[in-house]
Amino acid sequence: MDKNTILEHKLPPELKIILEEYDWVVNTIGCSRTEVFKLDNRHQTLYLKINKPESVFNLEREKTILKWLESKLLVPQVLFFCKYKGKEYLLMSEIEGEVSFKANSDEIKRQNVKILAEGLKKIHSMDYSDCPINNSPDNLLQIAKDKLENKKIDNSKFDERWSDKTPEELFQEILKNKPRKYDYVFSHGDYCLPNVIVKNKELSGFIDWSFGGINDRYFDFAAVAWSIGYNLGGEWVKYFFEDYGLEEIDWNRMKFFQMLNEFFQLS
């Protein structure tokens, strides 16, 4: 969709004024249903997200988490948020750098895996006592159950490991693998390589926080292990956990969260 169409038909009036002098490019990285645009003028780069408020993890949640994270982590600054004609609009500053999956040598892959591990350790070490969002696994299980009952799960999107299962079968498998207790931390919620930005061989910041909140640390482990394997190769996963400092990986817990995540794809 071109800039003029968006300006004429979609944007809230006050946002039209702010963005009138910007050049627009559609951002195609990621698989979310959220529309993302990169906006440039001669002075700065911004990002605009447009989404439906009824999404499970909507932009209002992301705005809430980003506001809470101000001065705590390297995250985008919220510049504008509103709901208008059935859509949410979130305008943010840019985190400069490259997405961490851009690695054309083993040296850069190793460097970025270390950055990923150190970044997640920093996130998980935060005090979450006043975190405004609770994404506990039990809460997510209830949401997943509601989506299942309302026929909102498409098993054609499932990972190949369980692509032969119906949504009902996979949900039962999830319940069978449910951990007896959880290891709560502040969680990014979608800790994949496109959401970690690197600049000059160092961490530049973290983006895409709509899943952020209190959760089990393995929710992030499940996401990043899959993402490293997909983007860099499975042989690099072990280095991530070594750098994070995890001495023994609980693969059953990992499987539980990777299966649970299938119910939140494209939410």
| Strand stretches in 57-167, DSSP E | 78-84, 87-93, 98-99
Distance of alpha carbon 204 from alpha carbon 183, whole angstroms: 27
Copy the structure tokens of residue 149.
């009952």
The helix (H) or strand (E) run that includes residue 120 is helix 106-124
Distance of alpha carbon 129 from alpha carbon 140, whole angstroms: 19
| Catalytic hit among 127, 130, 164, 190 | 190
Neighbours of 70 (CB within 10 A): 11
23 has catalytic annotation: no
Distance of alpha carbon 22 from alpha carbon 1, whole angstroms: 15
**Which residues are annotated as catalytic?**
190
